């Protein structure tokens, strides 16, 4: 099936098999490998992307369902090589250990801060509830998000 998807401002037209999950389309067809596959069961959130302004797990969506949609992935966060304040805060607070969950954490925190620029610590934790860090490095991730909360 033909699908037209805009990812990080670039529009792609591709022939997609209906059975292909959005995460595979992003990684394999568009070569945008920033979004990770952690569990492939919808639990870990490493594949989180923002679809038409809504945070979703891209392993629980077919690529064809994104036809006509505007998608933001971790590759689209920084502009002209400049890290966003959130990305910078992850760096400064050592908010990653192995880094595998980081793309998903960044997308979830980005979506949270757009909706609520001043989240409490509890709201940050709830906002990141769908993202698992198997290094268990949650403390510094929450500290990083807190540091950019207004």
Partner 1 sequence: MLLREVEYAKPESVAEALELLAANDGARALAGGQTLVNVMKARAASPDMLVDLNGLEELKGIELAGDGTLSIGAMTTYSELMSSAEAKARPILGEVAATIADVQVRNRGTIGGNVCSNDPTNHLPPLMVAVGARMTIVGAGGEREVAAEEFFLGVYLTAVGPGELLTRISIPAGKKDGFAAVTLGAEGTCICNAAASVNGAVRVALGCVDAVPVVLTAESPEEVADAVRAASLMPPSDVHASSEYRIHLAEVLATRAAQEAAGR
- Asked if residue 64 binds partner 1 (CB under 8 A), the reply is yes
- Judged by CB under 8 A, the stretch of 73-81, 90-98, 106-114, 141-149 that binds partner 1 is 106-114
- Asked if residue 110 binds partner 1 (CB under 8 A), the reply is no
Subset of residues 30 to 49 that bind partner 1, contact rule: CB under 8 A: 40-42, 45, 48
Pairwise CA distance, residues 80 & 46, whole Å: 24
- Residue whose C-alpha is closest to residue 111's, from 33, 52, 27: 52
Nearer to partner 1 among residue 67 and residue 120 (C-beta): 67
Nearer to partner 1 among residue 39 and residue 148 (C-beta): 39
- Asked if residue 91 binds partner 1 (CB under 8 A), the reply is no
Alpha helices in the chain (DSSP H): 22-24, 85-92, 102-115, 121-127, 138-148
Residue 81 neighbours by CB under 8 Å, 6+ apart: none
**Contact positions vs partner 1 (CB under 8 A):** 1, 17-21, 24, 40-42, 45, 48, 54-57, 59-62, 64-65, 67, 108, 111-112, 126-127, 129-131
């Amino acid at each position: 099936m033909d699908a037209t998807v805009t990812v990080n401002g670039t529009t792609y037209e591709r022939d997609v098999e209906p059975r292909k999950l959005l995460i595979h389309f992003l990684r394999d067809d568009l070569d945008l490998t920033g979004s990770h596959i952690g569990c492939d069961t919808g639990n870990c959130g490493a594949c989180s992307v923002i679809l038409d302004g809504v945070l979703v797990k891209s392993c629980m969506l077919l690529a064809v369902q994104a036809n006509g949609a505007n998608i933001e992935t971790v590759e689209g966060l920084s502009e002209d090589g400049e890290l966003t304040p959130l990305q910078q805060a992850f760096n400064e607070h050592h908010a990653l250990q192995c880094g595998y969950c980081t793309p998903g954490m960044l997308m979830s925190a980005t979506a949270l801060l757009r909706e609520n620029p001043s989240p409490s610590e509890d709201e940050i934790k709830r906002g990141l509830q769908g993202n698992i860090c198997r290094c268990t490095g949650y403390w510094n991730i929450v500290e990083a998000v807190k540091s950019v909360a207004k």
